[in-house]
Amino acid sequence: MEWIPVSLFILIICGPSLLITFEFLHFLIKGSRLKNKALILTVELTSVILFPAWMLLDEVNKKNDCCGDSAIFSPAHRLSIYVLIICCQLAFLYSRLRKRTAPPFLEVICNCLLMIAIPFNIIMAVHLGNNLSGTAIFLLIGNMPVVMAFVLALADNHRLFLREAGAQTRKASGYWEGLAWTILCLRPVQKWPVLLVLCLPVLACIAGALLIFGQKPDSVIEAFTQTYKHGFSKLDYQCRGVVCGGHYLCTIAAKGHENFVRPLRYGKRHGSTIIVNRQLLVSNAFEELLQDRLPWLHRPVRKYYDRLGKDATRLYDVLGNPWISDWVYLLMKPLEWFFLLVLYCADRKPEDRIARQYTGEACFGKGDRFS
């Protein structure tokens, strides 16, 4: 019965995308929409409203995380993205459910929001895909059908306005309303480039309004770039040296100020490249010695450290601050000196044991180390 989940996936995810694509091709070839308006409207609202809303709700509590499912949008700037998406969705919802056009000036703003949604969805596909194959999947299944839906909404708006404009006896009054009327009466090949230019002041107005809520003028851009592990992410370098699974000393060695925590070299741990310092090497050598000489004591100590490290995993964004890492390094100094004292008292060649940590060379013990 493995075909059931696959069938449900095709029905729920691929079905609306295929139907919108068929509707778009039908419009390009015949210049008209399919007759089953209720079905098409339901599918469009599902793809444009419900699926993005589900994604945004799932995103609300996510943070930038090197070791888990990291946030799609930067937590500090995601409000700008949310507001922009909601504005575009409201413009689409209004365009598809209304029976007559808005006043010319508001009609231009509505069409600009529909235009903004088109490149935004393409950018989203690149950001989520993270590579060529991933981007292609998101474009084909998710974002491109949404782009088609917005293009069809723009075409419907154009036809509806021309139909109403032809039935009116006089044009709009006032300079701005008259200018908006002129723009709306242009042919699509002229009208859409003008609307694309007008998207900039619309975006500027949205960004200006969001300044009240603590957002920055460039928050829409930083919402994409100030993230980990996505297409436009610029913070991936902060995850270098972070070994997931509660090993916070690796993070301290990598994130603290170099002249204070004193990183020595790169090392290997479970196939990952990490930055190591003297404190990290001594701690790991002490655990190796403990496992070799007192395995009965090593087990509860290891268990406690794993629990401590699991809690520390939630604080990687805090430990990523160099000053915090410096303080933790300083607090760990007495333990480091204790570990070093034990090593020199119990091992004939303590420095050899310390030096071979994270080099890939065979060690006496088997199993995880403190860090």
181 in a structural domain: yes
The CA distance from 306 to 370, in Å, is: 8
State residue 270's pLDDT score.
65
The span from the CA of 330 to the CA of 196, in Å, is: 55
* Together in a domain, 298 and 218: no
Structure confidence at residue 85 (pLDDT): 94
Q: Are residues 51 and 183 in the same domain?
A: yes
Q: How confident is the model at residue 194 (pLDDT cuts 50, 70, 90)?
A: very high
User: In terms of domains, do 203 and 317 share one?
Assistant: no
When pLDDT is cut at 50, 70 and 90, the band that residue 11 belongs to is: low
Whether 361 is in a domain gets the answer: no
Q: Does 82 lie in the same domain as 160? A: yes
* Number of structural domains in the chain: 2
| Gap between the terminal Cα atoms of the chain | 45
Structure confidence by residue, pLDDT tens digits, 39-73: 888 888 888 888 788 888 888 888 887 766 788 89
Does the pLDDT of residue 246 top 50, yes or no?
no
Tens-digit pLDDT profile for residues 266-323: 777 766 667 788 888 888 888 888 888 887 877 777 776 666 655 555 555 555 667 7
In this structure, what DSSP letter does residue 64 have?
-
> Would you state the pLDDT for residue 212?
93
80 inside domain = yes
Q: Hey, what long-range contacts does 228-232 have (CB within 8 A, 24 or more apart)? A: 228/64, 228/65, 228/66, 228/70, 228/71, 229/70, 229/130, 230/70, 230/72, 230/127, 230/128, 230/130, 231/126, 231/127, 231/128, 231/129, 231/130, 231/135, 232/123, 232/126, 232/127
> Which neighbouring-strand residues pair with 160?
none
Give the pLDDT of residue 364: 37
Residue 333: how many other CB atoms lie within 10 Å: 10
Asked if residue 235 belongs to a domain, the reply is no
* Same domain as 15, residue 157: yes
Q: Are residues 246 and 220 in the same domain?
A: no
Are both 188 and 263 inside the same structural domain? no
Domain that holds residue 296: 240-355
What is the pLDDT at residue 356? 86
Question: Same domain, yes or no, for 337 and 283?
Answer: yes
- Domain for residue 233, yes or no? no
Token pair recorded at residue 48: 């444009």
Contact 285, 343 (CB under 8 A): yes
Could you tell me if residue 16 is inside a domain?
yes
Q: For the full predicted model, state whether its pTM sits above 0.75.
A: no
Assess if residue 371 is contained within a domain.
Answer: no
Query: Same domain for 174 and 253?
Result: no
Domain boundary pick from 202, 225, 248: 225
Residues 202 and 53 in one domain: yes
34 and 170, same structural domain?
yes
| 266 located within any domain | yes
- Cα separations in angstroms, 338 against 149, 305, 334: 66, 17, 6
Residues 287 and 161 in one domain: no
